[in-house]
Chains A and B, each alone.
Chain A
């Protein structure tokens, strides 16, 4: 697991992005495909960020899990 400060920072940004997307989904009513794409992008972005932080902090478990997260986020387009 990444350090507590970094984890809190990343999670807050992730939740903020998700809340922003939810608000814009309610107000602007974009097409569903676009919303799904945006969710996948947020997911990919989040796990990319954790991957970089994991590399910086040299935490193997976090790096592997982040890599799996990134791959899954990209694969979720095609499932």
Chain B
């Protein structure tokens, strides 16, 4: 039995490595559900037909793909697709501030008052970003 154990462990490890790439695919298929389930449309209570997307509803399938593609790939309910999405004007404006002013302030804080000043500037920049976004 002792001689077999390493072989069993190796086989199990090999199998897990080989099967790993297929797990997300299997999960995606499992998520699709039966046709009866997929006919149910999941939308938030504040869903707006005028396509006014809130920050938390970004990345729905039809934002990036055609309706036909979404229907044929298990996104008939227009749920969100995990991929990079384009920022809107407000988000870009909010991010520009930390990129430019925030970075400069963090460096200035570090140079003037050391790690404490660096931490203070980082907290200030984060708070500013939070206020701008939400």
Contacts and interface: CB of A to CB of B under 8 A. Distances in A.
Secondary structure call for the A interface: helix
What range describes how many residues of B lie at the interface? 20 to 34
Contacts, number: 91
Contacts of B117: 7, 10-11, 14, 50
A56 to B, nearest CB: 13
Contacts of B64: none
B123 interface: yes
Contacts of A35: 131
Interface residues of A, number: 37
B128 A39 contact: yes
A11 B108 contact: no
Interface in A19-37: 21-22, 25, 32, 35-36
B112 A50 contact: yes
Nearest to B103: A72
Contacts of A14: 117, 120, 124
A72 B105 contact: yes
